[in-house]
Amino acid sequence: DQQVKQNSPSLSVQEGRISILNCDYTNSMFDYFLWYKKYPAEGPTFLISISSIKDKNEDGRFTVFLNKSAKHLSLHIVPSQPGDSAVYFCAASGRGGGSNYKLTFGKGTLLTVNP
Amino acid sequence: DVKVTQSSRYLVKRTGEKVFLECVQDMDHENMFWYRQDPGLGLRLIYFSYDVKMKEKGDIPEGYSVSREKKERFSLILESASTNQTSMYLCASSSPGGGYGYTFGSGTRLTVV
C-alpha cells in the first residue's frame, strides 16, 4: 500500500503566482518529512524539510506546512518562477536507527510554471 | 558538498546479461540506497545498506542483488536483465541521523533490449 501519496500528477501555474503541492501520508510513525525537486536526467535534490514537532518551515520562496492530525503536508512556492518547473517528490521517514532511516517517497507531482 | 557518483549515465544491455551498476560516495556516509524511477510510479526502493556488508531489501528487490564491501561503494546487480528492468536507477547516501535527507547521484538510464 502507498504510505506517501501525491494525488496530483501535475500542476500548472503562471509565473509570479503561488504553487501549492500537496502530500498525504498514512503511517503515524513518520516523523520527518522532506521535499525533493528533480529535473529530467538528473538526480533529485533536497529542497526543504520539516520535523513533526513543527507545523511550518520556511526557506526563501519555499514554505512547507505540516498538519499532523490530518496527516497532510504541503509545499508552497511564492512567487513561482519558470526555473521551478520540475517533478517534486514528497518523502517521509520514521525515527530510530537502522531501516527507519529509509525514506518513503510519493509518486511525484510535475510542476510547470508558465512565463 | 557530498558527492554521489554513479559510474554510467546511460547503459544498453541485452536480455539475460548480468549488469553491474556502481555507486560511490565521498562523505563517509553509513547509509546507501538504490531506487528506480518509473513514470507514474515515483521512486521505489530496491535495496539499502546502513553499514558495510549489511543489506536490507526494499520494496522491490526481486531480480536484484547488492554488494557493499567498502563503506563508500554500493553496487546494484541485475542477475539476469529483463526488459521490465528498463528504468532510471538512482543511488543515494545519507548520514546516520536519517532526517537529514539523502544526496542522490545523477542516475543511470538503463535500457534492456
Q: What is the pLDDT of residues B66-82, one digit of tens each?
A: 999 999 999 999 999 99
Nearest CA among A32, A41, A40 for reference residue A110: A40
- Is there a contact between B96 and A101 if contact means CB atoms under 8 Å apart? yes
Q: Cα dihedral angle (B10, A41, B83, A107), rounded to 10 degrees? A: 150
- Which chain B residue is nearest to residue A50, measuring alpha carbons? B99
Mean pLDDT over residues B103-112, rounded?
A: 95
Spell out the residues 6+ positions from residue A72 whose beta carbon is closer than 8 angstroms to its own.
Answer: A22, A23, A24, A25, A66
Residue A100: per-residue pLDDT: 59
Q: Which of A89, A99, A107 sits opposite B40 (nearest CB)?
A: A107
Let me know: does B82 contact A22? Beta carbons within 8 Å: no
Nearest-CA distance from A41 to chain B in Å?
7
A-chain residues within 8 Å CB-CB of B44?
105
Q: Which of B50, B92, B107 sits opposite A42 (nearest CB)?
A: B107
Spell out the residues 6+ positions from residue B54 whose beta carbon is closer than 8 angstroms to its own.
Answer: B68
**Region of residue A47 (phi > 0: left; psi between -120 and 50: alpha; otherwise: beta):** alpha
Residue A95: per-residue pLDDT: 67
Spell out the residues 6+ positions from residue B48 whose beta carbon is closer than 8 angstroms to its own.
Answer: A99, A102, B31, B32, B33, B34, B55, B56, B58
Residue B100: per-residue pLDDT: 60
Residue B95: per-residue pLDDT: 79
CA R_g for chain B = 13
- Which chain A residue is nearest to residue B105, measuring alpha carbons? A43
Residues of chain A with pLDDT under 50: none
Mean pLDDT over residues B22-43, rounded?
A: 92
